[in-house]
Structure 1
Amino acid sequence: MNFRELTRVALTLLAALAAAQLCVWLHTPIPWMLGPLLATAVASVLGAPTRSAPLLRYGGQWVIGAALGLYFTPQVGELVVSLWWAIALAVLWALALGALFGLWLQRQHVADFAHLPPGAWRATSYFASAIGGASEMTLLAERHGARTDLVAAAHSVRLVIVVVSVPFAMQWAQNYWGLQVDARLLPGARVAQWPGLLWLALATAGGALLMIWFKRTNPWFMGALLVSMVLTLSGVNWSAVPTALSNAAQLVIGVSLGVRFQREFVHTAPRWLASVATGTVVMMLLSLGFGLFLAHTTGLHPATLILGTSPGGIAEMAITAKVLQLGVPVVTAFQVCRLVAVLILVGPIYKWVGGRNQAA
Structure 2
Amino acid sequence: MSLPSLPSSTTHGCQIAATLVLATLAGWLSARLNLPLPWMIGPLFAVAGARMTGLGLRPLPGGRQSGQWAIGTALGLYFSADVVAQLALHAPLVVAAALGSLALGVVCALIMLRLAGVDTATAFFAALPGGASEMANLADRHGGAVDRIAAAHALRVMLVVSLLPFALTFAGVQGSDIYVPQARDVQPQYFPLLVGASLLGVGVFKLLRIANAWVLGPLLGVAVAMLSGVPLSALPGWVVNGGQLLIGCALGCRFSREFFRAAPRFMAVAALTALLSIALSFALAFVLDLASPVPLPTLSLATAPGGVSEMCITAKVLQLGVPLVTVCHVLRVVVLTVGAPWTYSLFRRVAAA
TM-score category, normalised to shorter length? over 0.9
Aligned residues: 346
Deviation at 1:41, TM superposition (A): 0.6
Contact 2:110 2:351 in 1 (8 A): no
Q: Which moved more, 1:186-195 or 1:158-167?
A: 186-195
1:132 paired residue among 127, 130, 133: 130
DSSP 3-state at the match of 1:344: helix
Which residue number corresponds to residue 144 of structure 1?
142
Which amino acid letter does the alignment assign opposite residue 84 of structure 1?
A
1:179 paired residue among 174, 182, 189: 174
CA separation in 2, counterparts of 1:165 and 1:75? 33
Structure 2: gaps (5+ residues) = 1-7
Contact 1:45 1:266 in 2 (8 A): no
CA separation in 2, counterparts of 1:295 and 1:193? 39
Deviation at 1:180, TM superposition (A): 4.3
CA separation in 1, counterparts of 2:161 and 2:205? 26
Which residue number corresponds to residue 318 of structure 2?
324
Q: Which moved more, 1:275-284 or 1:159-168?
A: 275-284
Which residue number corresponds to residue 336 of structure 1?
330
Deviation at 1:265, TM superposition (A): 0.1
Deviation at 1:257, TM superposition (A): 0.4
DSSP 3-state at the match of 2:62: helix
Is 1:25 matched with 2:32?
A: yes
Contact 2:174 2:318 in 1 (8 A): no
CA separation in 2, counterparts of 1:12 and 1:100? 38
> In angstroms, what is the RMSD of aligned CA positions?
1.7
Which residue number corresponds to residue 166 of structure 2?
168
Contact 1:36 1:258 in 2 (8 A): yes
Which residue number corresponds to residue 154 of structure 1?
152
Contact 2:27 2:43 in 1 (8 A): yes
Contact 2:197 2:225 in 1 (8 A): no
Contact 1:86 1:294 in 2 (8 A): yes
Contact 2:73 2:218 in 1 (8 A): yes
Q: Which moved more, 1:84-93 or 1:230-239?
A: 230-239
Q: Which moved more, 1:137-146 or 1:162-171?
A: 137-146
Contact 2:54 2:256 in 1 (8 A): yes
Which residue number corresponds to residue 118 of structure 1?
none
CA deviations over 1:204-259 (Å, ceiling 9, x no partner): 11211221122221211111111112222334341111100000010000000000
Structure 1: gaps (5+ residues) = 114-120
Contact 2:175 2:318 in 1 (8 A): no
Which residue number corresponds to residue 97 of structure 1?
104
CA separation in 2, counterparts of 1:312 and 1:57? 16
TM-score (structure 2 length as normaliser): 0.93
Q: Which moved more, 1:264-273 or 1:15-24?
A: 264-273
CA deviations over 1:134-171 (Å, ceiling 9, x no partner): 12211221221111121111111111110000011112
Within 5 A, what are the aligned runs for 1:3-22? 3-22=10-29
CA separation in 2, counterparts of 1:13 and 1:139? 30
CA separation in 2, counterparts of 1:97 and 1:356? 15
1:42 paired residue among 36, 49, 61: 49
